[in-house]
Amino acid sequence: MTGFASSYLSKHKVLKPTIPLPPSEKTGFIIVIPVLCEPGITEVLDSLWACARPKKETEVILVVNAPGNAPAEIHDCNIRTLDLAGEWINKHQDPSLRFFVMNELLPSKDAGVGMARKKGMDEAVCRFNQAGNSSGYIISLDADSRCDPDYLTAIEETITNRPDIRGFDIYFEHPVSGTAFPQNVYNGIIQYELHLRYVNLYLKYTGFPYAHHTVGSCFGVRADIYAAQGGMNKRKGGEDFYFLHKVIPLGNFVDINTTRVVPSPRESFRVPFGTGPAISKYLETEAEVLTYDPGAFRALKQYFRLLPQFYKAGDRESTTLTDPLHASIREFLKINFFLAAIDEINNNSGSAETFCNRFFRWFDAFRIVKYLNFSAREFFPKQAVTKAASQLLRDLGYTTPVDKEALSLLRRFRTIEKASPPMTR
C-alpha cells in the first residue's frame, strides 16, 4: 500500500484494513467512537443520524473493545452492544453517512480508552490513505455523548473557510438538569465544567498561546497531521490532552463554537482522571469542587509579559529579570533548570518572535500543569471554584452574577467562550 500515511501505517499498524468495505473517494470525515459496554449505544448513533448531511461523505467507526482479562459481564455486555449496533446499522443505510463496527480484544497491559481510540483512528487514517485523501479529518466522539444536528455541517463550514486547519476542538456543554441522573450528579458536573472553563479562560488571559479545551469527545485532526505526529497514544487516560498538545503547537488549530457536543456527566472508574473520576470523587463528599488559585495565573501572566526581554539575555540578565516575579515562578524555574533552557532556546532563535515560539515549546501545557500543581502545594492552596471563577470574571472586566452560584457562573462562562471569535493558533 502506498500513500501519504504509508510510512506511519507500516510502523504502527498491520497494513491490512480491518474494515473490508473500501472507502469512498468522497469521504471527508471519519468519526471514531471507543465503545466499552454501552447498552445505550443507539443514542449516540441516533444523534449522528439526525445530523444535516455535509457535502463530503462521512463514516463512523465504533471501536467495541475490552481487555482480554475483563470480567465475563463486560464481555457479555459488549456482545449485547454489538448486537444493538448491528441491528441499528441495518436499519439506517445512507451512502453519505456510513457506520462500521470494529470488535477489538485488547492486550491487558495496553487496554484502555487511549488504545481503543488509537485503533479506530489508525483505521481511519488507513482508509483515508486508501482513498488518497490526506486532507480528510478524523473526528473523536465518545459513546455516551450526543451532538447537535448541525454538528457535521458546522465542522465542514469551518474547514471550507479555513482549508489550512490542522486540527480543532468543538464547543461542549454537559447537561446540567434533567431526570437521567440524580441531582447531585448535576451539581457535580456544573462545578467540574466551571473548573474546566475557568482554567482555559485564565490560561488565555495569561498569554499562553496554546490554551484550548482537550476533551476526548470534542476534537478533530487532519489525517496527514495525525500520521505525521505518530498517531494517538495508548494512555489509559489523558490520551486526548497528550495527543492534542502535540498538534496544537503546529499552528492552524481552531475552536469551533458554532455547534455543540453534549458529553455525559456520569461517574466512571474506567480512566484515572477526567470527567468520570471527577464526578465519582465529588459524590463521595459533595464538597465544593476546588480549582487553582487566581494568584498562580497572575504570576504566570507577569512572567509571560517579560518573555521578549529574555531574548539574547545572558544568565546574569535572565536572573535579574526573574527577581521581581512571584516566588512560585522563581522556585519553579529553578527546579526546571531555567537558565540552561533559556540558553538553548536563544542559541536556536534568530528573532524575538522565534524565541517566544520556541519558549512555549519548552514551557508547554505539560509544564504549566506541573507549575499549577507545584504552586498549589507550595504557595497558592486551591480554592472553591465559585470563588475563583468570580475573581476571573472581575479580572477580565465582566460583572459577576448576583447570586455567584455555580450554575449562574457556568452560564456566564459558556456565553463568554461561545461568543468569542474562533481562536486560532
- Give me the DSSP letters along 136-166: -EEEE--TT-EE-TTHHHHHHHHHHH-TT--
Looking at the fold, whether 224 and 160 belong to one and the same domain comes out as yes
Our CA angle for 34, 38, 44, nearest 5°, is: 70
162 & 22 share domain: yes
Residue 315 lies in a domain: yes
- The count of structural domains within the chain is 2
pTM, whole model, 2 decimals?
0.94
* Same domain membership, residue 46 and residue 139: yes
CA pair distance 382, 373, nearest whole angstrom = 9
Same domain, 174 and 263: yes
Residue 390 lies in a domain: no
What is the extent of the structural domain holding 323?
294-378
Beta-strand ranges (E) seen in 197-350 are 219-222, 253-262, 290-291
Beta-ladder partners of 32: 61, 140
CA distance 382 to 379: 10
The answer to whether 42 touches 85, Cβ cutoff 8 Å, is yes
Do 273 and 305 sit in the same domain of this protein?
Answer: no
CB neighbours of 224 closer than 8 A, spacing ≥ 6?
Answer: 4, 5, 134, 135
Helix (H, G, I), strand (E, B) or coil at 29: strand
All three cell numbers of 398, joined, read 465582566
What per-residue confidence (pLDDT) applies to 424? 38
Tell whether 169 is covered by a domain. Answer: yes
Last residue in a domain, options 234, 254, 286? 286
- For residues 375 and 304, the answer to whether their CB atoms sit within 8 Å is no
Asked which of 267, 286, 305 is the last residue of a domain, the reply is: 286
Residue 70 located in a structural domain: yes
Question: pLDDT digit of tens for each residue in the chain (425 aa)?
Answer: 578 998 898 887 544 678 999 999 999 999 999 999 999 999 999 999 999 999 999 999 999 999 989 999 999 999 999 999 999 999 999 999 999 999 998 988 888 999 999 999 999 999 999 999 999 999 999 999 999 999 999 999 999 999 999 999 999 999 999 999 999 999 999 999 999 999 999 999 999 999 999 999 999 999 999 999 999 998 878 889 999 999 999 999 999 999 999 999 988 766 666 788 899 998 999 999 999 999 999 999 999 999 999 999 999 999 999 999 999 999 999 999 999 999 999 999 999 999 999 999 999 999 999 999 999 999 999 999 999 999 999 998 998 898 889 999 999 999 999 986 544 33
User: Helices 294-305 and 385-395: crossing angle, nearest 10°?
Assistant: 40
Q: What does each C-alpha distance from 337 to 163, 334, 342, 379 come to in angstroms?
A: 40, 5, 9, 20
Question: Based on the domain organization, do 152 and 276 belong to the same domain?
Answer: yes
Residue 61 is assigned to a structural domain of this protein: yes
Give the 3-state DSSP-derived string for 161-224, with helices as H, strands as E and coil as C: HCCCCCEEEEEECCCCCCCCCCHHHHHHHHHHHHHHHHHHHHHHHHCCCCCCCCCCCCEEEEHH
Does any domain span residue 309?
A: yes
Instruction: Please tell me whether residues 352 and 227 are part of one structural domain.
Output: no
Question: Considering only CA atoms, which of 261, 205, 154 is closest in space to residue 392?
Answer: 205
* Structural domain contains residue 374: yes
For position 425, what pLDDT does the model report? 39
407 CB-contact burial (10 Å; exposed 0-12 / middle 13-18 / buried 19+): middle
Q: Residue 116 is inside which H or E element, if any?
A: helix 113-131
Reported as type and span, the H/E element at residue 414 is helix 406-419
Q: What is the CATH number of the domain that holds 107?
A: 3.90.550.10
Q: State whether 279 and 309 are in the same domain.
A: no
215, 67: one domain: yes
Of 231, 253, 286, which residue constitutes the final position of a domain? Answer: 286
d(CA 165, CA 205): 24
- Is residue 251 located within the same domain as residue 134? yes
Residue 199 within any structural domain of the chain: no
Are residues 229 and 272 part of one domain? yes
The answer for residues whose C-beta is within 8 angstroms of residue 320's C-beta and 6 or more apart is none
Query: Which grid cell is 4?
Result: 501519504
- 103 and 67 in a common domain: yes
pLDDT of residue 404: 86
